[in-house]
A and B are shown apart, each in its own frame.
Chain A
Amino acid sequence: MRRSRRERRRERPALRALTSSAMALLGIAGKASAETAIDHYEASYSFSTYSEDELESSKTIPGGERKRYDIKTQQVSLAAPITEWLDFSMQVTHETMTGASPWYTTPDAAGSPIQIMSGATIEDARNDLNVHANYYTEEGRLGFGGGYSKENDYTAINFGTDGELLFNEKNTTLSGGLGGSFDEIMPTDADLYPTRPKDKSKQSYNGFVGLSQVFDRRTILQGSFTYNWNRGYLSDPYKQVFQVGGVQNYGDFRPNSRHQFAFLYRLNRHIEETESTVHLSYQYYIDTWGLSSHTFELDWYQSFGDAIQISPHIRYYTQNRADFYVPYLRLGQRRPEDMSSDYRLSAYGALSFGLKGEYLFHTPWFRDIEWRLHGSVERYLSSGDLSLSSVSVAAPGLVSFTVFSVGLETKF
């Protein structure tokens, strides 16, 4: 019996798929290829520049400082297998920062807040070292790590442990971690500004649990919950609050405890037909400062053959304001216990989009070495108009920035 035309059409793709897959395979068959090197060393270097847009002239006083932060980051990482079940990695970061940062906001003639930037150009450098070791077993992984970060007004030390447990024929992964960070803040020029403390500390303790489920070869669904508790000096010593008719600006006063909760859902789906992978995620965040946010993120990883991958990326973020956010205090307004004019605590929305590209190649004279050259550009825009919550007057300090980065990674 002959099959219907439709049924025939349905199975022809089998031939097409097999043939094109065979062609891909034969494309490399004749070449000498390295015998598998499964345990390998990894080394990478990356350089990135983060530059904030200048403040719009309408958002500050005429002739005021408008330049904002520029950060250049260099990073070197190394990873090495120690034994069959143990590996070790480390990462060194060096950052240099220059520019000015938002100081406080005052009302303009119409009462709308405008941003005053810190007058002096800040020059700072940060060095950071992180180490991590993983121990693997049949059922999962256990990791330990620690880090130390130093800049001239800030020192932080952190350590933590994390792990994964695999079950349900390894289609389900339970992951979790615990960590702590102990920071010391020694603001510069504390003598010149009475609102700046001399030496303060803060601690944060965090934990997370996550569950990842493989549904089929192409679909993975992940969910995780993160809790973070910060205590100690959580204010920003470089920010102030202005009061109309006040003799002097107040400092930035935030509660000395903050509990943060984040719930993340992510779907990873591989689309074989087009050699692409889509990552879709949503995060809900809420904390005890009255701030909550939603983040939607879409990443599209598109491969072109074995060597090239281009990944566009889009992210939308919206938050409401913290309970104690004030652009400035009105004339005669009673000084609240907690207050901050930090634009990061105001209600706003942000949109960022970017493009990443990577190119994979082997050195022709020694094919065991694999190289990955990657570069990316990201543009971030934030404004009150993008927020889902109602914003009567947007913080004037809301930032927009551009990040460029390039890097080279090798496995051998």
Chain B
Amino acid sequence: MLLGHYPFRALGSPCELHLWGESRADIDAIAEEAKSLVLRIERKYSRYRDDSVVSEINRSAGDARGVRVDDETASLLDYAATAFEHSGGLFDVTSGSLRRIWNFKSGRVPSPVEVTGALRCVGWSRVRWERPTLVLTVPGMELDFGGFGKEWAVDAVAELCRSRGVRHGMVDLGGDLRAIGPHPDGRPWLVGVRDPRAPERALASVPLFDQGLATSGDYERCMVVDGVRYTHILDPRTGWPVTGLRSASVIAPQCLVAGTATTIALLKGARDGVRFLDSLGLPSLRMDADGRVSGTLAGARRPCRTPAGSRLAGSEIDAAPARAGRSAPRRT
């Protein structure tokens, strides 16, 4: 068995596949296919491409006929609807129009008037979704699949690799992870959860078998204006960036579910977010505004500097099998 590493760039992040296989040719071909799947997803759901399905949907805003979407998009919308419902309306894919006014590269904080204006176009309840027809009822509404598209792509790639015969591997798309089985010798993948205030450092090292790990944090895309940190996670109720939790990481059978849980936790804020994560019964790690760390993963080994030259933006992965004697991974 040999382990191949395939770094590439997609979804605005550095990505890497780590695949175990019998021959180089086998895993090269699978990695190539996996990369094109990620690029297909990016093409299809990017807000920044005019020819994407998301742009097509967004152009239809205000058109009562709506748009008919394909099965894949329909299932994503079904998922978004479920997440909206189970987050008390916080996980909202219609937050897209807020992105127009919150440009984190500009260093400019929008005025309350702009925020209120943009909020008129926000709200899943203003969407009529009757599979396969989606109607964005308010002109100017915009969907943004950024909140879960990357995590979904992680799972999709893992499923693809598995269907091509990969039994041991790791998918990393910009720090959102999914392990395909353990290493061939049965030992878990060891994954570092980074420190939101010192991304080059790992907050904890987490063993993963066949699970997804996702992290949301206020370090990902943010800006600091007059000493105030504005994160990219926007509250659909107020239109303003959330405060409260610096980051949250969750392990779940699917990376998508893990990512949704972390996003909802950050949206819920320090107290309710922590409660929400506890209630899910999934292993988690969170850091509050004062830098205090809690959660079932907080007791995990707490070492590690990211190895020099690591291409991994988010979490670090030790590609080599973990040594025996490390703490047993927690299965969910």
Contact = CB atoms under 8 A, between A and B. Distances in A.
Real complex partners, A and B?
A: yes
Interface of A: 3, 7-8, 11-15, 17-19, 21-31, 33-38, 40, 136, 138-141, 164, 166, 169-171, 214, 216-217, 270, 272, 306
Nearest to A303: B131
Contacts of B253: 19
B254 interface: yes
Contacts of B138: 169-170
Contacts of A170: 64, 128, 135, 137-138
B159 A29 contact: yes
B81 interface: yes
A334 B177 CA distance: 91
Nearest to B275: A3
B276 A29 contact: no
A35 B53 contact: yes
Contact of B279 (A12, A28, A216): A12
Interface stretch (B14-22, B66-74, B291-299, B314-322): B66-74
B163 A30 contact: yes
B137 A36 contact: no
6 pairs of A and B residues whose beta carbons are closest in the complex: A29-B156, A14-B86, A11-B279, A170-B137, A21-B82, A25-B75
A34 to B, nearest CB: 5
Given A19-B253, A36-B56, A216-B125, A14 B280 contact: yes
A180 B253 CA distance: 61
B254 A19 contact: yes
A270 B67 CA distance: 20
Given A138-B139, A169-B137, A30 B160 contact: yes
B62 interface: yes
B279 A21 contact: no
Given A17-B85, A18-B82, A141-B64, A38 B56 contact: yes
Nearest to B91: A18
A67 B217 CA distance: 77
A7 B276 CA distance: 10
Interface of B: 37, 44, 53, 56, 60, 62-65, 67-76, 78-79, 81-83, 85-87, 124-131, 135, 137-139, 152, 155-156, 159-160, 163, 252-254, 256-257, 260-261, 275-276, 278-282
Given A8-B281, A19-B252, 12 more contacts: A11-B276, A22-B79, A25-B76, A26-B159, A26-B254, A29-B159, A33-B70, A36-B56, A36-B67, A141-B64, A171-B137, A306-B71
A217 B72 contact: no
A223 to B, nearest CB: 19
Contacts of A25: 75-76, 78-79, 152, 256
A29 B257 contact: no
Nearest to A140: B64
Given A22-B155, A25-B152, A170-B135, A35 B82 contact: no
A35 B254 contact: no
A217 B156 CA distance: 28
Contacts of B79: 18, 21-22, 24-25
Nearest to B153: A29
Contacts of A138: 62-64, 139
Contacts of A19: 252-254, 257
Q: Which of A18, A31, A35 has the most CB of B within 10 A?
A: A18
Contacts of B75: 24-25, 27-28
B125 A17 contact: no
Contact of B72 (A15, A28, A166): A28
B136 to A, nearest CB: 9
Contacts of B83: 18, 21
